[in-house]
Amino acid sequence: MNLFIDIETVPSQHPDALATVALNIRPPGTLKKAESIAAWWANEADQATQEAWRKQALDGGTQGEIISIACTDGDGRDWVACRAQGGDTEAVLLQSFIDMVEGWTQAEAVQVAGRASAFPVDDHFPVAHNAAFDLGFLWRRCVVHGVRIPKWLRGPMARAGWDYGDTMQVWAGYGKFIGLDALCSALGLPSPKADGMDGSQVFDRWLAGDCDAIARYNLQDAQAVAAVWHRLQLVGAV
């Protein structure tokens, strides 16, 4: 079964996260005069700390956290969950996602063969846009929390095209980049950003408690990945 996946991430929510980042903040090396360095500490250090902290959302899962996961099988089954601040933990979100995937597979086995154990529950092929980021992030956060990693989630040593599919790499080639929205536009597919939201807004919307909007945006991205993948299959690209 193909699993078209998208995640949304934020910086570490550990109570000491910002203070820990601040310990490693330093003035730019271009500042040489004592008064210039003092002015930087007084006027710019807090902003630099905030910026460095926010970048954890893109660190691949070492400090950054997942707050929303969306998945579709491209055949009518959709799932998305966004955890609120003070609500479910990241570990609960990850386990819920893994349990959902196994539930889909067992339901499919019952439909095809009449019993849930007919097929292995980890017989899946994950697909994402810039898949090494999404799938690697999922794998690392499972490791951090001690969540059992399913066989289909291979980790950072996985091979594109063999262990997972990557719509970005199929289109742009190894080491090249194209955004999902731009690729949808090139292929004449609906934009996943039609509601006006993009990834740069996720953290602030999450802080504002807007989980419904994040979940909707997250699922639209996963559905767009499925649409792109199916389109590429029509011309034999994958």
Question: Looking at residue 76, what is its pLDDT?
Answer: 92
> For residue 84, is pLDDT > 60?
yes
Mean of the pLDDT values across residues 54-77? 97
Mean pLDDT estimate for the chain: 93
The torsion angles phi and psi of 171, rounded to 5 degrees, stand at -80, -50
For CA atoms 77, 185, 82, 121, the dihedral sign is: positive
Mean of the pLDDT values across residues 124-133? 96
Mean of the pLDDT values across residues 121-139? 91
Mean of the pLDDT values across residues 6-29? 96
- Domains of the chain and CATH, by start: 2-234 (3.30.420.10)
Task: Label residue 118 by pLDDT band (50, 70, 90).
Answer: low
Mean of the pLDDT values across residues 53-65? 97
Q: How far is CA 125 from CA 55, 97, 119, 128, 144, in A?
A: 29, 15, 14, 10, 23
Question: Looking at residue 113, what is its pLDDT?
Answer: 67
Question: Looking at residue 116, what is its pLDDT?
Answer: 60
Question: Looking at residue 105, what is its pLDDT?
Answer: 85
> For residue 122, is pLDDT > 60?
no
Q: For residue 29, give every residue at least 6 positions away whose Cβ sits within 8 Å of its Cβ, in sequence order, or none.
A: none
Of 50-59, 80-89, 110-119, 224-233, least confident by mean pLDDT is 110-119
Question: Hey, what amino acid is at 108?
Answer: E
pLDDT digits (tens, 9 = 90+) for 20-41: 999 999 999 999 999 999 999 9
Q: SS3 sequence, the chain?
A: CEEEEEEEEECCCCCCHHHHHHCCCCCCCCCCCHHHHHHHHHHCHHHHHHHHHHHHHHCCCCCCEEEEEEEECCCCCEEEEECCCCCCCHHHHHHHHHHHHHHHHHHHHHHHHCCCCCCCCCCCEEEECCHHHHHHHHHHHHHHHCCCCCCCCCCCCCCECCCEEEHHHHHHCCCCCCCHHHHHHHCCCCCCCCCCCCHHHHHHHHHCCCHHHHHHHHHHHHHHHHHHHHHHHHCCCC
Through-space distance between the first and last CA atoms of the chain, rounded to whole angstroms:
15
pLDDT digits (tens, 9 = 90+) for 192-213: 998 889 999 999 999 999 999 9
Residues 72/78/82/88 CA torsion (nearest 10 deg): -100
The torsion angles phi and psi of 21, rounded to 5 degrees, stand at -65, -40
Mean of the pLDDT values across residues 116-139? 85
